[in-house]
Amino acid sequence: MTRVAITGMGVVSAIGNDIETFRRALHDTTGGLAPAQGLDEVPKGITVVGQVRDFDAEARFGRDRLALLDPFSQFAMAAADEAIGMAGLDFRADPAMGQRTACIIGTGGAGIATLQEGFVRLYRDGKHRVNPFTVPRYMGNAACSQVTMAHGITGPSFAVTSACATANHAIGLGFHMVRGGVADRAVVGGTDALVNFGNLKAWEALRVVSRDTCRPFSKDRTGMVVGEGAGVFVLERWDDAVARGAPILAEMIGFGMSADAGDITFPSVEGASRAVQACLDDAGLTAADVDHINAHGTATTANDATEAKVIRAVFGDAADRLAVSSTKSFHGHGLGAAGGLELVAAIVAAQDGFVPPTLNLTELDPECPLDVVTGTGRAMDVRTVVSNSFAFGGLNAVLAIRRAEG
């Protein structure tokens, strides 16, 4: 089957709104979790969030265009602009290329900010009408559609939603489409804009949100931190990328998915293990081939302990030499964007020979017997990385990449 190159990536996040700022934050161990800003009200149980800051939407898009864009679409478009620019592609200059390009942008919460704005107008402020663009702003495919329109992508395009596994599903589906010849290239990723009162209140009600900060795999962890942002990538046929002299950031080599078919919120070791093993099989990897795992690592009691069991079940003795980290400790849980943010971190690890640390860990939980990287990170030879996403609803999606090599 066709080899697949990653030739572009873009990011919007709590630790940077471009790749180089994001990269520096990982190397400098500069976390982005802080009290929410700019909200009329913050739920009392929410102390910190992974909020996108210093994002000037009007400067990027202009006031008229902005009227049609919920923040989740804004984030996706900014990340897509960076990814497509990095890849050196211009679909409008070559309409035939646009027809052979897929676009899959996933989201967990879609236009929740637009919906909240409408509810506030109707029920708090007593208005009788909402924004006339409410539907095209909040619909789940809005971000994907806006990216296609902005760049002239006219091939197979759609949105996916699977909670925390959304971005990995979108990226993995695009990978399989390119590898299988359905498309020559794909613009893929995930986006969510979730730092608003209504969404934070909903997560607070689940009682899974941290009382202080995000401490994946730490014995004293108290829960997840809500984040937001977008991670978008350009995947293309390896030979095409080489022929046009494109920068090859990494090679996408595997994708696995599964359903627990169990509990709506409690994760399954068996279900997640099948997704990880399916990814290794798809990539032609053995347990000994993997150097680093970017963990799902939400910092909830159940998820971290379950993921540790998954890694042990799949990798066996090889788990002892796997460098594990959760970058959610930097940028929070981006939900539909999470896998996109984490794939950026995985690519940075392979490019730079540097595994970012898991921040805030004070004492490794005995229920999580893994080689969790802490401190200032770890310089090491990183050739192959696996990135896990295990979602509410028991939907699991796992990606594997390899350092770019001839």
Kindly report, residue by residue over 357-366, the tens digit of the pLDDT. 999 999 999 9
Q: Where are the alpha helices (DSSP H) in 88-141?
A: 95-99, 112-119, 134-138
- Residue identified by tokens 């409410």 is 134
| Nearest partner of 177 among 158, 151, 152, 150, judged by Cα | 158
- Residue 244 token pair: 């046009």
Domain extents in the chain: 4-243, 254-403
Enumerate the H helices of 284-333 as residue ranges. Answer: 301-315, 328-331
55-82 confidence digits (pLDDT tens): 999 999 999 999 999 999 999 999 999 9
pLDDT above 90 coverage of the chain, percent:
99
The pLDDT-based confidence of 212 (bands split at 50, 70, 90) is: very high
- Is there a contact between 274 and 260 (Cβ–Cβ < 8 Å)? no
Establish whether 164 is a catalytic residue.
yes
Mean pLDDT calculated for residue range 172-191: 98
* Three-class DSSP category at 93: coil
DSSP 8-state assignment for residue 182: S
Residue with tokens 């849980």: 333
pLDDT at 158: 98
Tokens of 86: 């990095």
- 3-class DSSP state of 270: helix
Beta-carbon contacts of 364 under 8 Å, excluding residues fewer than 6 positions away, are: 217, 218, 219, 370, 372
Catalytic one of 164, 214, 279, 368: 164
Residue type at 283? A
Indicate the residue type of 62.
Answer: G
- Is 296 catalytic? The answer is yes
**What does CATH list as the number for 254-403?**
3.40.47.10
The residue that leads in pLDDT, 395 or 211, is 395
Q: How far apart are CA 372 and CA 378, in angstroms?
A: 10
pLDDT digits (tens, 9 = 90+) for 270-325: 999 999 999 999 999 999 999 999 999 999 999 999 999 999 999 999 999 999 99
Q: Where are the beta strands (DSSP E) in 64-111?
A: 101-107
Q: Could you give the percent of the chain with pLDDT greater than 70?
A: 100
Q: Looking at 169, 292, 296, 331, which residue is catalytic?
A: 296
Q: Do 4-243 and 254-403 come out as alike in CATH topology? A: yes
Topology of domain 4-243, CATH: Peroxisomal Thiolase; Chain A, domain 1 (3.40.47)
Query: How high does pLDDT run on average in the chain?
Result: 97
Mean pLDDT of 37-44: 92
Q: Which of 151, 331, 333, 368 is catalytic?
A: 333
pLDDT of 121: 92
- Flag whether pLDDT at 1 surpasses 90: no
* pTM exceeds 0.95, yes or no: yes
| Pairing between β-strand 250-259 and β-strand 395-403 as defined by DSSP bridges | antiparallel
pLDDT tens digits for 77-121? 999 999 999 999 999 999 999 999 999 999 999 999 999 999 999
What is the rounded average pLDDT of the residues 218-242? 98
pLDDT over 80 at 406, yes or no: no
The rounded distance, in Å, linking the Cα atoms of 101 and 269 is 36
